[in-house]
Structure 1
């Protein structure tokens, strides 16, 4: 038989076996081809959409990305709601249940604790107040039109015709989606704000560290921002004295002494937060993003080039939905001609460009949350020497297939008591958080959350203002209303010789009392610690056409805090990515070169490891003792001549990152308080001098609990982000720094005969050995077969059933894995958490590059695709290109869109 025919026959046999396997799975009728395809949207021909004033065209390109053309804004946003429901309604439905604390209605009792926490925060209630009291008539009209479009789709679709996930939900609990409301859209902004809330987890962690570490040690683990090596976003500046701003806040001298009970409360809150769904990024990790803009004076196009790639949790479908919204005739009556990235479930475009300007966003990281310790009884809290009654809300949590649960939410002037949602407190109002009753009255500490997002704002209005802005002044007007989450907004236009570039820091950022820098919980019973308003928008930093010719924002410090009269935060990102981008741009500009679109795309894919540049020279000097058959030395040689790039096929990148992870384990993991230690994590390392690979490993290549000896199997380690880059950079020159000591007893000054005072080089040697053993278990003994991508993998999972559904459903809905380049705090930020392994846990969720000289030459890519329907051609059709740092053409003008159109749907009144 010819080889080609034989190969074809084998493929047919394999396909037949797969089909038989699928056909034989239980409840196969729910997952038949007919069921899967039932929800695919109609994209050609015509459909009636009630409420339209005139026909609307929906043109889709080869990747299913829609461009909508209408005569009025209301028609435009009504069609947007309909089209997004076509592609993404299940995603929208899950989001609104999350933001309203109603996940249990869809998924049962397993979501009750999450719902209870969300009801305590009351996102949906705050969104309702925003809609009722803050938004102008036009914004409300757009929100209603969008909702009408969604509901028009729901009217004609249900169950499997909405999405295949509903086939499973209908079978298990009889769930039916309700009508969409404008408040459902507004509430999504609260979810954004939650995941981009700033330093709340750091505040908890620092407080818990006081039980075991000194203030000096805590400061070492939270070093000051390195202004000497990583420049802030804007050049040093201050607020003019004519604005009559407040004097700078006084740096805190440290937290009040916390007792064990308060520690327990904070630990319980931390546990609840960890259980919250990570909508945008992993909790407690440095959610970041990159954006930069270069003046036309330094580009090959002669006009600005603007780039943006937000780093968020990988999701399937992607958090983003690409779309264009076009008024056929742009005028004051219909001012929208905009394209970019939207959120399914919310009208307008969040990031992108219109015909006049382009903009991008990264997380500013402003400190907009504070934890207040409250002295409470069951019904009151202490306030300036008086007992004040709580404001109370009663909430009913309905549970699919189970009994409803009722909770009581207690609120103080400093916000809701989030400690009431900890595992220690089940019956709210009957038991106080601390059993310390004076005079027979149950009293103790609780923890309240003060957060700017719990106050109504105009952020939804700001989205529409951005979409129709025509110049920098209008852009800043929009930014003024962008209250939460606080973002770095970059800007570009094509006006004038070289166009203009700019930056604005928006957001509601609190002004704190003297002596409070937001780094620790403060006493809520003393009104001295109340917020003193928010920083006036006129005092927020901004830039317009800076002399250097470019602006970079990547979560670094906005401005040198010592030269600015307000505190934005004490917990910036440490500038690793931002400085790398600054250096890449500056090196090109200083050499007299011009930056091209291809240059910018290459920068987005830059995966150089900055911590490797610091650490590898030390690692290469280590003399591995007792190294039988050069077992570790052969791995060490991988680092010789390594260019520090973390390409997916790099063995050196694999070995270095394993060494880095083990350095963190040995230097810091066993020194953190038990409350910060994830359960079940074993950090046992092979004995010093061990010359071969560990034999007793679990399936993940980690020593089993039985091999942990006397060490606590729940010990923790840092996540490995760029804060830890800075911590290690600070102690690297000091070979005998106490943090290099691998023994807990020696570190804490208990000088016993058993204490082992290790040095930096001894610890690095041990980390190199441990990394060799670990990768042998994971990748094999032959280092020639090692690659970073084999460790550093991305699997895309459906946001609900893809993680908790039956195995066959996961198989149908999930995709991957992909072996990725990039790494932690690299520009190509395919992040991983050193506490949990090497798998990718956050990603550049999209990438875009806007060419202000010719908008039709702009480029973009999404993490997945336009569709949220499994097996639709556009489910993950962009992922392969995204993984390879490739971009698609971004068509914008009417002529360009027409040429790229592959399917046209006409929506008629």
Structure 2
């Protein structure tokens, strides 16, 4: 991949990232008519006359809290990241060009997006540009501004292509040499809902629980949006999004989790033996479309240009490698309305309106768990799934020489796995099989194997099932206890069998007897003071570098287990000089100068995943993140939430770390959609000026 970005041409000029800039604003609204209310936790509650006014205020408030991440996200979606981050950003810029995202947005923006949503996009851009003009010393890349609605849509299309697996496909085609865009990807999550058939008080409950990276472009930002045009919602979004991505309004709420149907296909083309730009298709030699692109790349105080040819076949983006020529095809690359569909979810007042928004089929993935004040609960494993002919292995590389594999239609929403108002009184998803989303015969069934839906179970799904099964009715206290559970099920459900770690005889292996005993005595809880959890944590991180081997064989053998424990013990002694480590001694929640003992382990209902920190310790980087719990009552939704760090990513803000201890203690803060209450409890009120 390095050769791909070899510098062949110099365009030299000085780059001053803090240069004074003047942005010509095309403004249609009066910021004095927009109120930003900050509550005691710094969460922004934004009020305006129109939805576009509120979008303006959202952009301003989010920029106050995390302008840097918003800019980096928009740079990525608009093929400008290499101008700021150099070679690292060039990988992203190449993907944007290869997928023809700018051309797609240019072609479809005017005809595909509705007029009212364009006003929302315009309002958001005005707010962001106004902030950039007022705080030009914070601008990272002057050419990024003024941001336009099309720039926002380009970034959303990139995100949804990554959600569909574009980066993994490209990495595989290039033989694993393309870095995966992990910082731009969403990951796990839990979502579940109970209606009056299952709750003790007759109310409907909804758990919105994202397991995201704790920081970066897909870390959730909490906000409350309220306009006189009927927009009143509290929830969370990503940097650069003009609405809430999952949350609750006065009538209904929804949560997302990541799903894994087959959203992308890879084809190997049959190339002409004497012409590298021709491929066989239905018996005829077709010519690849070729376009040269220049990618500006920051290099010290200069910007250099990398030149790359982009290829395109009838299937889509095409890559020529030593191993062959491959094309990829995905529905995410064929629609630009994802952000508008989320906006329609925001404005829905009942299930009929929510379902109508779902019928847009613009969001290419995500499970959805829905609940409303009318006692409706619903689950769907949503996706833009191609209608594929039988007779091909759609999970593998496909023949790229026939129109038989060139699909053009999508399955209707009605064909996707879903459950509405089950008699069990609950629906749930923990990134496991959509065919096990409630109880018994009302579960969806597989109707078309070419959709490629996952059928796996995991530790979270089995633990959730074990917690709910004995409960005839679920109280709100039960609901919260299930959400915050930190215990593995009685039998592990990792992708490969790890039982051998718990079957060793300590008398046979005296050199690792202490670790064997600690694992055997472990209650399978992920509490910060738990020594067994600390041992398992260290063992897990010794397994991770070898997991591809264990995935292939399906289990960890006894000899493997002995080797892992010996390696783990050596690490413990080297880093900590002892082996009886509590989980919170080795895993920390870190931000700024705050480092707290952090509970949670991979694939718990309240999970945590960590990366190396310092002195042998690790810090959480992904897992139980934004949490919003909702009870729909006759008097309106009762809402509580917590975010992992706080409302602001600014190091000098009092809200940079003020939710950390609350998060660790699994406590929440009360939130409200009531305008009068918000103003009454306001800590700060101002206009975006």
Q: Normalising to structure 1: TM-score of the pair?
A: 0.66
CA distance in 1, matches of 2:538, 2:479: 30
| Alpha-carbon distance, 1:650 to partner | 1.6
CA distance in 2, matches of 1:189, 1:467: 17
Contact 2:221 2:236 survives alignment (8 Å): yes
Q: After superposition, what is the alpha-carbon deviation per residue over 1:151-205, rounded to whole angstroms, capped at 9, x for unaligned? A: 222232201xxx3xx5xx5xxxx8564101112222332243244225984x79x
Structure 1 position 336 matched with structure 2 position 133 = no
Q: 1:272 aligns to what SS in structure 2? A: coil
Contact 1:291 1:309 survives alignment (8 Å): yes
Q: After superposition, what is the alpha-carbon deviation per residue over 1:669-690, rounded to whole angstroms, capped at 9, x for unaligned? A: xxxxxxxxxxxx7xxxxxxxxx
Structure 1 position 576 matched with structure 2 position 477 = no
Name the residue aligned to 1:503: 379
Q: Closer, same or farther in 2 for the Cα pair 1:395/1:864, shift >3 Å? A: farther
Structure 1 position 379 matched with structure 2 position 277 = yes
| Alpha-carbon distance, 1:856 to partner | 5.9
Q: 1:339 aligns to what SS in structure 2? A: strand
Q: After superposition, what is the alpha-carbon deviation per residue over 1:683-719, rounded to whole angstroms, capped at 9, x for unaligned? A: xxxxxxxxxxxxxxxxxxxxxxxxxxxxxxxxx5339
CA distance in 2, matches of 1:632, 1:88: 47
Structure 1 position 850 matched with structure 2 position 680 = no
Q: Map of 1:707-786 to 2, 5 A cutoff?
A: 716-718=546-548, 727-728=554-555, 760-781=557-578, 783-784=579-580, 786=581
Aligned equivalent of 2:260, options 365, 378, 388: 365
Structure 1 position 488 matched with structure 2 position 367 = yes
| Alpha-carbon distance, 1:626 to partner | 6.2
CA distance in 1, matches of 2:459, 2:253: 25
Name the residue aligned to 2:585: 790
Say what the alpha-carbon RMSD is for the aligned residues. Answer: 3.3
CA distance in 2, matches of 1:179, 1:63: 31
CA distance in 1, matches of 2:504, 2:446: 42
Q: What stretches of structure 1 move > 6 A for 4+ residues in a row?
A: 614-617
Name the residue aligned to 2:390: 514
| Alpha-carbon distance, 1:595 to partner | 2.1
| Alpha-carbon distance, 1:830 to partner | 1.0
Q: Normalising to structure 2: TM-score of the pair?
A: 0.85
CA distance in 2, matches of 1:831, 1:487: 21
CA distance in 2, matches of 1:821, 1:454: 39
Q: Map of 1:536-547 to 2, 5 A cutoff?
A: 536-547=412-423
Contact 2:34 2:46 survives alignment (8 Å): yes
CA distance in 2, matches of 1:280, 1:878: 24
CA distance in 1, matches of 2:596, 2:314: 49
Name the residue aligned to 2:22: none
Contact 1:502 1:551 survives alignment (8 Å): yes
CA distance in 2, matches of 1:775, 1:199: 39
Name the residue aligned to 1:403: 304
CA distance in 2, matches of 1:194, 1:816: 36
| Alpha-carbon distance, 1:526 to partner | 2.5
| Alpha-carbon distance, 1:96 to partner | 0.8
| Structure 2 unmatched ranges of 5 or more | 1-15, 19-26, 437-443
Contact 1:457 1:481 survives alignment (8 Å): no
Aligned equivalent of 1:827, options 605, 620, 630: 605
Q: After superposition, what is the alpha-carbon deviation per residue over 1:244-267, rounded to whole angstroms, capped at 9, x for unaligned? A: xxxxxxxxxxxxxxxxxxxxx946
Name the residue aligned to 1:751: none
CA distance in 1, matches of 2:247, 2:549: 32
CA distance in 2, matches of 1:563, 1:362: 20
Aligned equivalent of 1:131, options 109, 126, 132: 109
Aligned equivalent of 1:279, options 174, 184, 198: 184
Q: Closer, same or farther in 2 for the Cα pair 1:269/1:309, shift >3 Å? A: farther
| Alpha-carbon distance, 1:570 to partner | 4.8
Q: Aligned pairs, how many?
A: 647
Larger radius of gyration: 1
Q: 2:297 aligns to what SS in structure 1? A: coil
CA distance in 1, matches of 2:679, 2:549: 48
Name the residue aligned to 1:142: 120
CA distance in 1, matches of 2:122, 2:363: 22
| Alpha-carbon distance, 1:54 to partner | 7.2
Aligned equivalent of 2:532, options 649, 652, 656: 652
| Alpha-carbon distance, 1:103 to partner | 0.7
Name the residue aligned to 1:185: 152
Aligned equivalent of 1:622, options 492, 504, 529: 504
Q: Closer, same or farther in 2 for the Cα pair 1:106/1:622, shift >3 Å? A: closer
Which structure shows the higher helix fraction?
A: 1
Name the residue aligned to 2:342: 463
Contact 1:600 1:849 survives alignment (8 Å): no
Structure 1 position 345 matched with structure 2 position 243 = no
Q: After superposition, what is the alpha-carbon deviation per residue over 1:619-644, rounded to whole angstroms, capped at 9, x for unaligned? A: 554234664xx442222222344211
| Alpha-carbon distance, 1:823 to partner | 1.6
Q: 1:407 aligns to what SS in structure 2? A: strand
Contact 1:147 1:180 survives alignment (8 Å): yes
Q: Map of 1:519-598 to 2, 5 A cutoff?
A: 519-531=395-407, 533-559=409-435, 563-565=446-448, 567-572=450-455, 574-587=457-470, 589-590=471-472, 593-596=473-476, 598=477
Name the residue aligned to 1:355: 250
Q: Closer, same or farther in 2 for the Cα pair 1:485/1:356, shift >3 Å? A: same
Name the residue aligned to 2:135: 157
Name the residue aligned to 1:865: 646
Structure 1 position 71 matched with structure 2 position 38 = no
Q: 2:192 aligns to what SS in structure 1? A: strand
Q: After superposition, what is the alpha-carbon deviation per residue over 1:272-295, rounded to whole angstroms, capped at 9, x for unaligned? A: 143x352135xxxxx211000011
Q: Map of 1:246-265 to 2, 5 A cutoff?
A: none
CA distance in 1, matches of 2:88, 2:498: 46
Q: 1:271 aligns to what SS in structure 2? A: coil
| Alpha-carbon distance, 1:373 to partner | 1.0
Q: After superposition, what is the alpha-carbon deviation per residue over 1:545-582, rounded to whole angstroms, capped at 9, x for unaligned? A: 11111100111121278642353325455333123223
Contact 1:489 1:505 survives alignment (8 Å): yes
| Structure 1 unmatched ranges of 5 or more | 1-29, 36-48, 205-264, 282-286, 329-333, 421-432, 435-443, 666-680, 682-715, 729-739, 741-759, 797-813
CA distance in 1, matches of 2:251, 2:479: 21
Q: 1:270 aligns to what SS in structure 2? A: coil
Q: 2:290 aligns to what SS in structure 1? A: strand
Aligned equivalent of 2:677, options 875, 893, 896: 896
Q: After superposition, what is the alpha-carbon deviation per residue over 1:25-62, rounded to whole angstroms, capped at 9, x for unaligned? A: xxxxx9xxxx9xxxxxxxxxxxxx86239722221101
Contact 2:173 2:326 survives alignment (8 Å): no
Q: 1:574 aligns to what SS in structure 2? A: coil
